[in-house]
Amino acid sequence: MRVHLGTDHAGLELKDHLVEWLRKHGHEPLDHGPDEFDAEDDYPVFCLRAALAVVDDPGSLGVVIGGSGNGEQIAANKVEGIRAALAWSEETAELARLHNNANVISIGARMHSVEDATHLVEVFLATDFSGEERHVRRITMLKDFEEAGSLPEGPAASAVLGAGPPD
């Protein structure tokens, strides 16, 4: 599988480790930078490129890395067609794919050991989307909003909007 990676200075060592780990495990890593440490670099420069590459490369997945992973997830999610999930446990890495069909995982390099972070990526890559109707429906709602600004319909939305059943 092709895996696009982007990070900032805080995740540079982890990214470099993952590039080698991915190669060893039969994946094709595509490194969107940075190539060298710069304490003043900005994660959007690299994470947006990795996310755009995932969208342009059907069937690929992405890994974005930073100190906490929060900003990197936010950056990736600004790209139309990306569903980036911040993984902090094996379960969140698995559910990101299984339920949300996430195509990018975000990792906080300062939050995990190299071994634990690698395991999160391994679980993410090894997990397939379940395809269950409820998850497909929810992802479609998000896609419709992303593309056209269409708010989802349903009983909960009607109650919130004051369009619930008459008194």
Do 9 and 35 touch, CB atoms closer than 8 A? no
Q: Catalytic residue among 27, 32, 72, 112, which?
A: 72
d(CA 6, CA 18): 11
Catalytic (active site) residue 90: no
Catalytic (active site) residue 72: yes
Q: Catalytic residue among 17, 25, 99, 119, which?
A: 99
d(CA 85, CA 72): 10
Give backbone dihedrals phi and psi of 72, rounded to 5 degrees, phi first: -65, -40
Residue 18 CB: number of other CB atoms within 10 A?
25
CB neighbour list of residue 138: distance below 8 Å, 6 or more residues apart: none
Enumerate the H helices of the chain as residue ranges: 12-24, 43-56, 70-77, 90-98, 114-126, 133-148, 155-160
- Catalytic residue annotation: 72, 99
